[in-house]
Amino acid sequence: MNNVKIIAEAGVNHNGSIKLAKQLIDVAESAGADYVKFQTFKAEEGISQNTKKAEYQIENTENEVETQLEMVKKLELSDQDHFELIEYCKDKKVRFLSTAFDFTSINFLKKVGLDFFKIPSGEITNYPYLVKVAQLKLPIVMSTGMASMEEVEDALEILIKNGSSKDKITVLHCNTEYPTPMLDVNLKAMNTIRDILGVQVGYSDHTLGIEVPIAAVAMGATTIEKHFTLDRTMEGPDHLASLEPDQLKDMVTAIRNIEEAISGNGIKEPSKSEKKNKSIIRKSIHLKDNIEKGGIIKEENLIVLRPSVGISPMDWNKVIGKKVAKDLLSGNPLKWIDIDE
């Protein structure tokens, strides 16, 4: 497993089709994501009949009359669908993950066996939900969209009091506007969460493009979650704010590169790869003029040139006024053995 967990969020972008869900798994595997995540829910257990759709859901589905319950009900995956997708993930060697939105779904996902449990932003103020998840005693990744710092602290306290271990909880900074305006990202809040709460942090991204999750990794994120789709023009609530396959692959590649780039020991020193360039790129003191044996080195006799095979220019003042021990020819590097001490 890589140091930074990358969760490719398929969510409900399968549009209720097991065929599309499998195609999304193919994309996640091809991109190199660690996990492909779906959503597990019984619509009636989490949404009342009169709940309106969010503005972005209305815009993305172009249906203002349909209720949120009606929209979400069409996106449910059956238990059998889950089992089929889990097996497909095993074949593809990408880890299956899903987020539960109600008690029935929590119990179901507990049985199928997950590496960790993902708490979505909308449940961060759901006390009974948090207690039940904590009692599973699994590692937890919790999104914090729409939450204040106090709400994040309260949720963390509930999880710990009810069986979760703080060192197994990762808190994701998140903004739940789809897509998120860049000015609203507030990526510094991720590290505020880390510094105040002393937990592992990450970022769940809903911006357009791949820049922000890459930046989050450079800032210390240990988990990245990002929605993806087969085609952003498809009908559905989340497609528009999702990455298309090539973008997902580019994001994963960039994150892996950043992961390597920040993995050093922090000591400023020449790296193994650049040491061979040192003598070629740096310069040393060379003779600008011929100097006969016994002659005095003057500033006008010298020039600084590549390569660095002679005395360092940092020792410029140490050689001025010295006698030379032998005849020196113009163009040659000046070496300590050339100087009469």
CATH of the domain at 324: 3.90.1210.10
pLDDT in tens, the chain (341 residues): 579 999 999 999 999 999 999 999 999 999 999 999 999 999 888 889 878 877 877 777 777 777 888 888 889 999 999 999 999 999 999 999 999 999 999 999 999 999 999 999 999 999 999 999 999 999 999 999 999 999 999 999 999 999 999 999 999 999 999 999 999 999 999 999 999 999 999 999 999 999 999 999 999 999 999 999 999 999 888 898 999 999 999 999 999 999 999 999 999 999 999 999 999 999 999 999 999 999 999 999 999 999 999 999 999 999 999 999 999 999 999 999 999 97
Contact 25, 37 (CB under 8 A): no
Q: Is residue 270, in this structure, part of any structural domain at all? A: no
Return the structure tokens found at 200. Answer: 């592992």
**Residue 131 and residue 280 share a domain:** no
Judge if 317 and 180 occupy the same domain: no
Residues 144, 256 within the same domain: yes
Query: Residue 161 has what pLDDT?
Result: 98
Neighbours of 236 (CB within 10 A): 20
- Say yes or no: 107 and 63 in one domain: yes
Phi, psi (deg, nearest 5) at residue 326: -160, 170
Question: Among 206, 202, 178, which residue's Cα sits nearest to residue 189?
Answer: 202
Is 301 a domain residue? yes
Contact (CB, 8 A) for 224 and 205: yes
Among the candidates 261, 294, 323, a domain finishes at: 261
On whether both 53 and 197 belong to a single domain, the answer is yes
pTM exceeds 0.85 for this model:
yes
Domain that holds residue 73: 5-261
pLDDT for the residue 71: 80
- Domain assignment of residue 238, yes or no: yes
Task: Write the CA distances from 61 to 14, 48, 314, integer angstroms.
Answer: 14, 19, 68
**What digits encode the pLDDT tens for the residues 234-258?**
988 889 899 999 999 999 999 999 9
- pLDDT score of 68: 84
pLDDT per residue as tens digits for the range 73-90 = 889 999 999 999 999 999
- Give how many domains the chain has, as a whole number: 2
94 and 124: one domain?
yes
184 with 56, same domain: the answer is yes
Tell me whether residue 267 is in a domain: no
Q: Are residues 76 and 169 in the same domain?
A: yes
Average pLDDT, the chain: 95
pLDDT confidence of residue 66:
78
3 is written with which tokens?
A: 């140091």
